[in-house]
Structure 1
């Protein structure tokens, strides 16, 4: 039993590192070869870049254009407003909108034309601005 007191038990001895060492120079690579270390070569990719996916994205045909007021609608608004003798500000006041909105519709720059605004303009100007026969007088009841 006295032998138990003389023996030493080591707990939690660290094992040799299993993490691979990254070598960037040719000299360090040759030194590892001389010592007989295991050498693994991996090709590095750039941050998730996948050439196949990028090709698919480039070849997509989905159209991302935003609808704007057509040229015929903008010309019809201008001509009807001029025929009634209204300024843009007068028309804007009558349809309860800002003058800049009337200006955008007349210039053809209004993005996603609002059907309610076009309807108000139709009633005030007495001209069709939606559907077929744009610029034709509205048929009253």
Structure 2
């Protein structure tokens, strides 16, 4: 303790720079000058709240090179949806509102063009089956 001087400052640990400082052009240039590796990537769909995602099997179908065909809802299912909706005296818009989906999705299911999503089908069954 005799060698300690009041004018000297000892840093035990240097403060880490903030993330925003690391992303600045100045920080990138200094890292390149020092020979450090610099990786830059852009966010993909960063600001979107995507709730409707296809099944995991769609990626598998995309990778196949033989026959690129997505299974769609059968005509029997689409007719049942139309029949159930008409029995409840609901329009496509009313049904879409009750299941928290877009009207276009209900239209696709009733036309037999939609790729089956179990969550959407369960919502429709719950509303139409009551």
- TM score, norm. by length of structure 2: 0.48
Q: Larger C-alpha radius of gyration, 1 or 2?
A: 1
- TM score, norm. by length of structure 1: 0.44
